Chain A
Amino acid sequence: MIRFLTISLLLTLLLTSCGTYKYPTSSGIRSIAPKEVNTYYADTAQAYVYRTRLTAFQKEINGNLVVKSISPETHRLALLSDFGQTLFDISVFSDTYVVHYAMADLNKKKVVKEVASLFRLLTSRRFATEALIFPTQQYFPVYVANGDYYTYEERNLVEIKHVKGSKERFSVRFSDVQDALPQQIDIKHKRYPLSLSLQLDSAQSEL
């Protein structure tokens, strides 16, 4: 009896600590031929300027997010305040990042790592090798790449859910897609009170 209880307890601990993320409404996952996902920022001839409203811990900062494609998987992003101060200037690669500059107040390892992760998710092209299965046909396709979930509607990527462990870490929502480019992006962190609202500034972008 004691052995049974011990094993049960260990199993419970293992199952709760190593749980996997379950996408809402999905009933399973299937393998697919590699599919390219998130190609919005693949053109290396272009650079994009988004008007940005950052809300962090009930404080608001306005500015611009500048995105330059170096390759489909490599991008350089700079977050600027309206006064022209650079808050972050980071190059993100598929599995690493390089900080060119981070404002002194923000230059904390944990913060920079989180920002780089968010920048990578936002811009990096991926190849999905799995897709979700839904109980009925009425759901839009959701592809899985690197453990993240890419939802498509009418051939446009509309949402990425970034998952860490068993929990959703942050979500990126693309909307008003024109000429294969989202005019509006909304990013929400699920753990911290942090969100970004981005609006494409075509006049300032190099399109």
Chain B
Amino acid sequence: MKANLGYRIVKNWVKLMLLAVCLLPLAGWAQMKAMSAQEVQAFQQALKQLATVKTLSADFVQYKHLSFMKKPVESSGKLFIVQPDRLSWSYTAPFNYKMVFKDNKIFINDEGKKRSMDLGNSKQFEKISKLVTNSMQGGRYDEKEFAVAYFKDGGNDVVRLTPKLSEAKKYIQEIVLRFSSTNRQVQEVKLVEPSKDYTRFVLKNTQINKQIHDSVFDY
């Protein structure tokens, strides 16, 4: 077993979550219908007109679905993002675990046990960080990294990102983002693993560009 396993798990997760949660200016559930070219254009246009995201706060519920279990394993917490480079992801039930991403480091508070990991030399993180920043400021994602498909599902817009690079494919089969039909905010993020099991994050009480106190990023 690799000595740096914990670091790799956190690193991979951060990469995926930063990417998934923060692709706000963009967009498989069953019975989804592919958008027409006109619908895709209208959807992208609507997103461009949204205010640039400088801060984001939300509550989340995480559901881990396993094919052999009747009900998902559930946990919940809070998410805060301040552009360009601060993120706080904390679980509050059924356990306490806080992860803060700032100053090119990950700080972890695990039920009172604190530790940090340096991300300074990680080119992958630089790339992800740039991608997130660009996305939240109305930029475009890199189509070399993902195949993108747009869908309509009832009143919701849905975007499915399928990794093209082999390194990402090892961990994730696809990322599905579901947008609210009313305010165009991301409502759900679904990370599908190569085994088809998936984790669904449902965001609630999302607030954009409201002031976030610095203490949120203490750990």
Contacts and interface: CB of A to CB of B under 8 A. Distances in A.
Interface of A: 47, 49, 51, 56-62, 64, 66, 68, 76, 78, 80-87, 89, 100-101, 103-106, 111, 192, 194, 201, 203-204, 206
A105 B75 CA distance: 25
B147 to A, nearest CB: 20
Nearest to A59: B6
B73 A66 contact: yes
Interface string B4-30: 111111101100010000000000000
A66 B69 contact: yes
B13 A47 contact: no
Contacts of A103: 9, 171
A105 B4 CA distance: 10
Given A59-B3, A103-B171, A204-B74, 5 more contacts: A59-B7, A78-B68, A84-B13, A192-B1, A194-B1
Given A78-B66, A83-B13, A204-B73, A101 B97 contact: no
Contact of B197 (A59, A62, A82, A89): A89
A51 B195 contact: no
Nearest to A102: B195
Interface residues of B, number: 36
A89 B66 contact: yes
B217 to A, nearest CB: 19
Contacts of A57: 1-3, 5
Contact of A106 (B1, B10, B62, B110): B1
A189 to B, nearest CB: 10
Contacts of A61: 5-6, 9
Contacts of A100: 195
Contact of B69 (A58, A59, A82, A206): A206
Interface string B33-69: 0000000000000000000000000000010101011
B203 to A, nearest CB: 15
A82 B75 contact: yes
B193 A60 contact: no
Given A61-B9, A82-B91, A104 B171 contact: yes
A156 to B, nearest CB: 26
Q: Sort A-B residue pairs by CB-CB distance and give the 9 closest, nearest first.
A: A84-B199, A101-B195, A104-B170, A59-B6, A83-B13, A57-B3, A84-B64, A61-B6, A56-B1
Interface in B184-199: 191, 193-195, 197, 199
Contacts of A62: 95, 97, 110
Interface in B65-87: 66, 68-71, 73-75
A103 B170 CA distance: 8
Given A82-B91, A106-B5, A89 B73 contact: no
